[in-house]
Amino acid sequence: MKIGILTSGGDCPGLNAVIRGAVLKGIAIHGHEFVGFLDGWRGVVEGDIIDIPRTMVRGIAKQGGTILGTSRTNPFDNGGGPEVIKAHMERLGIDAIIAIGGEGTLAAAKRLTDAGLKIVGVPKTVDNDLDATDYTFGFDTAVQIATEAIDRLRTTGESHHRCMIAEVMGRHVGWIALHAGMAAGAHAILIPEQKVSIEQITEWVREAHDRGRAPLVVVAEGFVPDHMESPHSERGLDTFGRPRLGGIADRLAPELEARTGIETRATILGHIQRGGVPSAFDRVLATRLGMAAIDSVVEGYWGTMVALKGTDIEHVGFQEALGKLKTVPQKRYDEAAVLFG
């Protein structure tokens, strides 16, 4: 069988480990042949591929990014669609596709599967927001990077007696903010799942300052204060029609400084959280998911993705995976809130 692999959407630590796991198992156990679509769905729509021999995946599990490139191309735009993609697959002799990506990628994969294409998915997102899997690879690495950065902000904040605000990724969920904030000992953690007033944030900052601390606030990019109706976004929409979030820390900093009189600085960590080498946890998880994706292909589980449930890898339908976001439950936030102020 000839299998095409693509990585689509935002890059993520662990993508190369998935490719390696799939290729090594596919070749060693089943004698499959592999090609890679370049730059995500763009390569699928245009039939732009490269061969992936075993030698190409040597040592790539520890590399960040993706050797195949990625993009946010919508496979139904720019001359794409099921018939165009089917024609390319037939011409190139490709029997099935392994699509590695997040919500947008898997939603597109579901539509194409419904149209008759043979596709299986591997969930990828640093945001950890797919409901059908306990963890996604890339999340652990993003939390580690964010925690280290926040630790550094704390030392400079303490030196100058400043309030420091660190903005992290997460889109419409607060998993990165919650984990990194707890790990770094933040005095306030602001996430999309919790409406918090500017008065409450001010109180937490003042309490920390009154105890002689340099207040540290961790905010998720999708946080919506109770005086706003939607997340802060000033960079338009992506190719899937979703708002590009970011910048809420820059809005909070002057407001908190004006209310508290404490010099306040904001830092947006941004793409730093997605770059660099994956953590050991993410390398192992990504490798297992890549190997499990081969099982999905062999068994003909089209229209499904592999998922981590506890410590086991299972196969779940795209519909289940895309049904809703995996948000931070109230009890997890309440645990962290005990430490605020």
Among 110, 239, 249, smallest CA distance to 170 is for: 249
Is the separation of the CB atoms in 8 and 72 below 8 Å?
yes
**Residues listed for the chain:** 341
Residue 210's SS3 state is: helix
Query: Distance of alpha carbon 31 from its chain centroid, rounded?
Result: 32
What is the H or E stretch that residue 36 is in? strand 33-37
Is the separation of the CB atoms in 37 and 49 below 8 Å?
yes
Query: Distance of alpha carbon 328 from its chain centroid, rounded?
Result: 15
Task: List strands edge to edge, sheet with 163-168.
Answer: 188-190, 216-220, 163-168, 264-268
- Tell me whether residue 51 is one of the annotated catalytic residues: no
Write down the residue that tokens 């939603």 correspond to.
107
Residue type, 272: I
Pull the structure tokens for residue 334: 């309440």
DSSP string, 164-192: EEEEE--TT--HHHHHHHHHHT-SEEE-T
Residue 29's SS3 state is: helix
The active-site residue, picked from 11, 127, 129, 140, is 127
| Residue 167 backbone phi and psi in degrees, to 5 | -100, 130
- Residue 263 CB neighbour total at 10 angstroms: 14
Residue 116's SS3 state is: coil
Among 213, 210, 219, 152, smallest CA distance to 181 is for: 219
Q: Which residues are catalytic?
A: 127
